[in-house]
Amino acid sequence: MSVRSSSSIGGASRSSTVNSVSSTHKLHRIAFQGEDFAHWAMLLPLKTGVPVGLLVHIGVRKDVCHRPVHHELLMHIADTVSTTASEAVVIPGTNVSESQLRQAAEAVFRRSGNNYHMLTNNCQHFCIDVVIWLHQHYPDSVTKEAIRDCEGRGTKAIAFRKFIFWTRFTSEGREARAKAKQAASRQAELAQPRRTVSYRPRMSID
């Protein structure tokens, strides 16, 4: 079956007639040019075992000085054999449809807006967030195993983002506990009975 499919969101969209994924399949993680610092994409094959399918990833538009100025969500049918993809790995615990993948990608992209960053919110984080979103909304189609698998791969920047999150979390927790302790001490002070001091009249002998 052929459909007219928009290939990008957040930038200039272009349409083309492509084959759609008509059933559920295992989701694949595609890495371009190495594993650790690779550009990641998600691939949903047209058929099991076929390297052709719906490719979902984040694209970067750059200015004349090659500085990133805009990010866009790209969704298009691609043959990964004809690309620079160096690795295609099945994500365990996944069995999703094209509509589910599109829905997840659009939701994650809209939530993040254009706030993508090389270290703290890059293309690898996007793919992980898509898997997390799928698990939250379709737990029967994407299990926790899929999340663990994706989070256990890729650049150390993923670990860096986790470190930033937990550092902020624990810091805020410490501040909250300190404020609560101060408030409790203040309440305890107010609850203590006040000492009354009685004064005897001053007597003078002339």
Cα(134)–Cα(146) distance, integer angstroms: 10
Q: How long, in residues, is the chain?
A: 206
Among the listed residues 50, 31, 34, 33, the one whose alpha carbon sits nearest the alpha carbon of residue 42? 31
The model's pLDDT over 188-199, given as tens digits with 9 standing for 90+, comes to: 777 776 665 555
45-54: long-range contacts, CB 8 A cutoff, minimum separation 24: 45/21, 46/19, 46/21, 46/77, 51/79, 51/80, 51/81, 51/88, 52/77, 52/78, 52/79, 52/80, 53/21, 53/25, 53/28, 53/77, 53/78, 54/20, 54/21, 54/98, 54/101, 54/102
- Asked if residue 59 lies in contact with residue 72, where contact means CB atoms within 8 angstroms, the answer is yes
Q: Please, what is the Cα angle at 29 between 135 and 62, to 5 degrees?
A: 105
The model's pLDDT over 9-61, given as tens digits with 9 standing for 90+, comes to: 444 333 333 456 668 999 999 887 655 557 788 899 998 878 889 999 887 76
Token digits for 161? 């983002």
Give the residue, 16 or 120, on which the prediction is more confident: 120
Cα(106)–Cα(14) distance, integer angstroms: 16
pTM over 0.85? The answer is no
